[in-house]
Amino acid sequence: MRTRHTRDVTWLGEALIEPGKLVFRGQLGSAHAHGHAALQIVTIDDGAAFLVDADGRGLSAPAAIIPAGAEHSIEAQACQGMMLYLEPTSVIGSAVTALFRNTNRNDVREWVRLGKRLVNVDVVKQRHLSFAAHEVIAYLVGAEGQPRCAVHPGVEAAVDLLPGIIEGPVKLSDVARTVHLSADRLGRLFAHEVGMSFTAYVRWCRLIRAMEVVRDGGTITDAAHAAGFSDSAHANRVFHEMFGLAPIDARRGVRLT
């Protein structure tokens, strides 16, 4: 068993958030032991990150893939690199999660083994974060990771509607009624055409809104209310569950693009 003390390192860089995906690139920091709802992909441009699993096994590696729910800690020693967080129920997230079939999802050795697929990916050369994330996904799952476009008019109407109602409770049945579909039909369409469940999509929309408010100078409390969270503690909890990082830590050094 290998463990070592992780020290706090400031996260500094830029981030892009969109439904089902958060991409961060810049100086990576440390995160103490946690398990979050997002699937996490780590790539280091120069150096290595030290990862520890729930059983205390520790490895240094230039890249790793950590499945959703797997407890881990990370020390990046202020390395430059990229973190890609994916909604595990999305098309992309499901394709990457499938790489863990017949493996021990909680073993750091498996995270590093799968991460070896990414050692030749140069995310620095891609100026835009979206293109960098696309290249990483293509290396991992190829065409399976290509996002699907919503084509059903009911789905398009629902997606257009959500930003205007995200501040309050959002129910699938209410949205379905507004776009003239049954709740079951709209739910199936979201899963097929958007690539994630309606509930997961709403959660990401709330996180996007919260980060936009913080980016524009609002407080965490302002962001929580604008995004429909019950309070700042709720927003903090959801943010940490998805990314293993508190909003205040992201606010200090991360620029949302």
Q: Give the pLDDT score at 148.
A: 53
SS3 246: coil
Q: What's the confidence (pLDDT) of residue 114? A: 95
72-75, strands of its sheet edge to edge: 31-34, 72-75, 49-53, 58-61
Instruction: Look at residue 97 in the predicted model and tell me its pLDDT.
Output: 92
Asked whether the beta carbons of 227 and 170 are under 8 A apart, the reply is no
Distance CA 106, CA 121 (A): 25
Domain 153-256 sits in CATH 1.10.287.40: no
Domains of the chain by residue range: 12-145, 153-256
pLDDT at 145: 52
Q: What is the mean pLDDT of each run of 10 residues along the chain (257 residues)?
A: 50 86 87 86 89 96 93 85 90 90 94 91 76 88 59 90 94 97 95 86 90 85 93 88 76 72
CATH architecture of the domain 12-145 equals Sandwich (2.60)
Report the pLDDT value the prediction gives residue 1, as an integer from 0 to 100: 43
pTM for the structure as a whole: 0.84
Written as six digits, the tokens of 247 are 């909003």
Range list of H helices, the chain: 91-97, 108-115, 129-141, 153-165, 172-178, 183-189, 198-215, 220-226, 232-243, 247-253
As a whole number of angstroms, the longest Cα–Cα distance in the chain is: 57
Q: How far apart are CA 178 and CA 196, in angstroms?
A: 20
